[in-house]
Amino acid sequence: MTITTLGESLGTDAAGQVPVASVPPARQRRRSATRAGIVPYLFIAPGLALFALTVLYPTFQAFQLSFFDWKLVASASKFIGLDNYVRAFQDDHFWLSLSNSGIYMVLTVVPQIVIGLAIALLLARKSPTQPLFRVLFYLPVVTSWVVVSLLFRFLFSDDGLINFTLGDFLHLTDGSTPWLADRWTALLAICALGVWKGIGWSMMIFLAALQGVPTALLEAAEMDGANRWQRFRAVTVPAIWPALLFVTVMLVIGGFNVFVSVYLMTGGGPAGRTDVLLTYMYSQAFENLDFGYGSAIAVLLTIIVFVLSVVQLRVFRDRNGEGAL
Amino acid sequence: MRRSRWAALPAAARIILLSVGAIIMIIPFLYMVSTSFKTATYVFTTPPEFIPDPATTANYEQAFSTGDFGRYFLNSLIVATISTAISLLVSSMMAYAFARFTFRGKEAIFRVLLLGLMIPAIMLIIPQFILAKNLHLLDSLGGLILFYVAGSLSLNTFLLRGFFESIPAELDQAMQVDGAGAWRRYWRLALPLAKPGLATATIFTFLACWDEFTLALTLTNSPENQTLPIAIRLFAGSGNNAVQWGLVFAASVIAVVPVIIVFLVFQRYFVQGLTSGAIKG
Amino acid sequence: MKRSRLIAATAVAASLALVATGCAATGGDEGSSDEPVTITFWGSYGNGGNSAQQDVLNDTLIPAFEAEHPNITVQYVDVPYDDLLQKLTTSAAGDELPDLVRADLGWVPKFADLGVLVPLSQAMPDFQELADATFPGVLSTNLWKGDYYGLPLDTNTRVLITSQAALDAAGLDAPPATFADLEKAAGTLEGTGISLFADGGLGAWNISPWIWSGGGAITDDDMTTASGYLDGAKTVATVQMLVDLYQAGQISTGITGNAGATSTAEGLPGNNYATIFDGPWMNGIWADQFPDFQPIYAPIPAGDGGSVSVVGGEDIVLTASSKHQEAAMEFIRFTQTEQFQMALVPTGQLTVIKDFGDEQVATVPYLKVFTDQLATAKARLAIPQGSEVDTILNEELVPAFEGTVTVKEALGNAAKRIDELLAEQ
């Protein structure tokens, strides 16, 4: 009897399937050709109805607002077509926020994958200490974003622990770096929080995926004289490829949707230079009460993330024919 | 697991490497715990003190005695528990259908569902608020539960579909030959075999509901219906005023406890899954 | 977009908006009957972990009001200050505003402009009488397009706060009274590790006292243009003085938006900063957190324009959607009474009623400096885009402090952008 693992669920089973949007119907039919008439619709009906009512319908409304100069009151609101979008494209601060979101995404996704995978590899082998380490590395994931954002603002403050460690303890700097005073160092601090908080999450998924790596293949490769790196490349990576895809797609989406940590650590400051798309959207919508423009920014963000996700799915498929799509 | 390619790396070196990493991961956490036992005057000291001196439990006493902290805590517990249970049921049903049946519009519906992962939640605040009002769910725990369940459906369905798909189809077919209906196959076969997946989804969902701030603040008014993140935000006060770090962190430490308990309870199934998977490998 | 879609979209937006205004006309008079009514009141009295104000309101004032009006129940909801505006906006869109809001005085024109507030000067027969009793500076923040949409609830202003330790370090016998005193103190403080001054930003709340005391202005009196005022010679000279101090390391980086700089609330007692500008509420916070610290209050240092500070505070507004407007107005009247005003004085809320000024100082002596400062304090621009003005000032002035543009250029750019906002009126 075989019991599945998370790793396999992410695609190390025979058909190389992953839980990703676009599994071609043909392949689907091959493994589970249960035609059941109305039954599947009954299974999805409750969830889909709930989703349509509470997520899709509000999404549609928010999308419509992006075509209005929306002022809460009917007499003041008017349809302005694509003006909000044109405004975004001509707005320097929109581009700054977009680039900050992009920088955050790039700087957090790669370390979360690399470090998460490295720790997972170190923890893959069963040992008495494995459960303890798993909890320790997972601790940041379960701690509230609000709490850790306040905590990191405190740690990266001028008199905080980071400066103390770098200056008085390690003597790497003079210990008075004003981390949150400059766009780049502040983004670095925000990214540090993102990576610190996210490593445990990707580690967990990789750890599970690694359990599905065919040990027999690894042994065979070792007997053929393959070194550790070659075995990793030839056996491990293909086996965890779908997990890599899942983690990457989720982290890219999450990276572009960063909000709470920026809002609480710098508030977009100094002078808006660390604004990301969502903090900018928030201040437009809820401080300037310009909800039409705020909605347009959010729609653009959704489109960017959607396109990036599709591109990733294709790239991953091209790299690994048996993989994602 | 019989043999790891890391076996050649000396165990001691591995432990040291992991320990250094683990220390970096938990220092911020330890600092939070330590600060929660300090008086306000002693929060900012150079060098930072990890052992509070003098130590005080005053922050915890103040957190518990301020306003309706106990009520907020209980509300969070109720909302997070019920939302997680409903979300797991509903999304596992959807995931089962996507994993086990072929039906018209299947992949299109699934893609629409995934869109739920990409839409920024803040964009939906005003339409969702108006919807909650029309459903007469403003200022109620029921309203929070409805939106929390809806908000977690996409990720959970995405995650669980994979778990169900990797259960060998033959098991399903065998049960079907024995005359078991779809519901029975889902309930008696798929769910038990997907325990690690359900545990993972439970941990993620409980955390997300426990942690949620913006919707909770927007949809609820009365202290009887508000949740813990709001209480912590009230302690933190405004940017203009002095943040009482000791108090904020004491409240935060209290808030983290249930999440860790849920993790410890459910990671048991996770370990089980890993071990079983390893046997297969 | 297809035509039918367009119509559908318009309909949805219109219905969303209609919901917001639909009840404006139905706000009825139910307070005069003996039917028990509950009115809700949102505010941010909670003030972080310091619950002194909230306790007075919940434990003393509201019970006193309810005893006098047995058919009215008042439900106060405390909302975190930083999130109150978001909650108000969303609730306004959904027509779910409470009856009464304790609104930051900068928000009154914003919401008045959206049509969700009742013009009290029309709705309350006794409005003029109540208004005449209040300080004109804070009353003026309620005026929008000819009507008053609220009454002052509490007021405050910023004064110079220092400590004996800082004065000793700066070699001063008394707090710096003029710009010249300040610059002299900066020289003495050099090398002590104590910064002369600290503040949390460069918005109107922060920078206005400097500009006005230096003899400059932000706009003309009729609020039609900023050019020629915000970039006038006196404003430029004043800001230049600050920039020079900043570049000499005498002003903390918190002023240019460094979220990691020691906050003014901690830096003054901690002797990181010699002086700050802040409000009366700090007294209670320090008493809790730094019991040994003795703040010294003094007027804003005078420049060519004298000692002029900025008016802060909150107004109480009645929402158009309130179903119990009479009862709510009864509570508004209660907020203007001696009982209400004087109960909050010890918690650092200054009274808005002129006649209570002396009693206020007699009750709480440290409020004398604040009360005197209020006599000349001015209000910020009362326009719906107040938050955009703050954004503009921060965005344009930070580069000037960092030395990448000249002060003259920075203020000129800010003036142009503010002109555009003023032109929208």
pLDDT in tens, B64-122: 887 678 899 999 999 999 999 999 999 999 999 998 998 999 888 988 888 888 888 88
CATH number of the domain at A268, please: 1.10.3720.10
Neighbours of chain B (3+ CB pairs under 8 A): A, C
Q: Just give the CATH number of B67-275.
A: 1.10.3720.10
Option in C17, C257, C262 nearest A72 (CB)? C17
Q: What is the pLDDT of residue A74?
A: 60
Contact list, C277 vs chain B (CB under 8 Å): none
A251, two tokens:
């982290």
Contact list, C93 vs chain B (CB under 8 Å): 126, 129-130
Least confident of A69-73, B234-238, C199-203: B234-238
A289 in C contact zone (CB under 8 Å): yes
Neighbours of chain C (3+ CB pairs under 8 A): A, B
Residue A320 inside a domain? The answer is: no
pLDDT single digits (tens) A4-46: 333 333 333 333 333 333 334 444 444 444 456 889 999 999 9
A12, two tokens:
């190390």
A293 in C contact zone (CB under 8 Å): no
Contact list, B238 vs chain C (CB under 8 Å): 44, 47-48, 80-82
* Cα–Cα distance for residue pair A59/A78, rounded to 1 Å: 20
Cis check for the bond before A270: say yes or no (omega within 30 of 0). Answer: yes
Residue A22 inside a domain? The answer is: no
Q: Phi and psi (nearest 5°) for C160?
A: -80, 130
A76 in C contact zone (CB under 8 Å): yes
For residue A150, is pLDDT > 60? yes
Q: What is the pLDDT of residue C49?
A: 61
Residue A231 inside a domain? The answer is: yes
Residue A309 CB neighbour total at 10 angstroms: 21
Option in A31, A267, A302 nearest B118 (CB)? A302
Domains and CATH numbers, chain C: 3-155+312-373 (3.40.190.10), 159-309+385-423 (3.40.190.10)
Number of domains chain A contains: 1
State how far residue B199 is from chain A, nearest Cα, in angstroms. 11
Q: What is the pLDDT of residue B272?
A: 41
- Which stretches of chain C score pLDDT less than 70? 1-34, 47-50
The better pLDDT of the pair B6, A296 is held by A296
* Cα–Cα distance for residue pair B77/C4, rounded to 1 Å: 46
pLDDT single digits (tens) C71-95: 999 999 888 887 888 899 889 888 8
The better pLDDT of the pair A27, B242 is held by B242
Residue A4 inside a domain? The answer is: no
Which run of H or of E encompasses C314? Answer: strand C311-318
**What mean pLDDT comes out for the span B196-206?**
87
Substitution target in C2, C3, C15, C16 with the highest count of A β-carbons within 10 Å is C16
* Cα–Cα distance for residue pair B179/B184, rounded to 1 Å: 10
Q: What is the pLDDT of residue C99?
A: 96
pTM for this prediction: 0.84
Least confident of A129-138, A279-288, B214-223, C4-13: C4-13
Residue A10 inside a domain? The answer is: no
A152, two tokens:
């990191």
Contact list, C47 vs chain B (CB under 8 Å): 237-238, 241
For residue A320, is pLDDT > 60? no
Q: What is the DSSP letter of C37?
A: E
pLDDT single digits (tens) A207-222: 777 876 777 888 888 8
Contact list, B58 vs chain C (CB under 8 Å): none
Write the CB contacts of B77 (distance below 8 Å, at least 6 apart in sequence).
Answer: B258
**What mean pLDDT comes out for the span B149-158?**
92
Q: What is the pLDDT of residue C316?
A: 96
Residue A260 inside a domain? The answer is: yes
Option in A64, A178, A269 nearest C12 (CB)? A64
A271 in C contact zone (CB under 8 Å): yes
Write the CB contacts of C171 (distance below 8 Å, at least 6 apart in sequence).
Answer: C185, C188
**What mean pLDDT comes out for the span B32-56?**
75
B65, two tokens:
């005695």
- The residues in A 34-53 lying below 8 A from B, measured between CB atoms, are 34-36, 39-41, 43-44, 46-48, 50-51, 53
Residue A128 inside a domain? The answer is: yes
Question: pLDDT above 90 covers what percent of chain B?
Answer: 28
Question: pLDDT above 90 covers what percent of chain C?
Answer: 66
Mean predicted lDDT score pLDDT of chain B? 83
**What mean pLDDT comes out for the span B49-54?**
77
CA distances from C21 to A260, B79, C41, C91, C120 (A): 32, 33, 20, 12, 17
Beta bridge mates, C41: C76, C100
Which residue ranges make up each domain of chain B? 1-56, 67-275
Burial code of A103-122, b = ≥16 C-beta within 10 A, e = fewer? bbbebbbebbbebbbebbbb
Domain that holds residue A192: 86-315
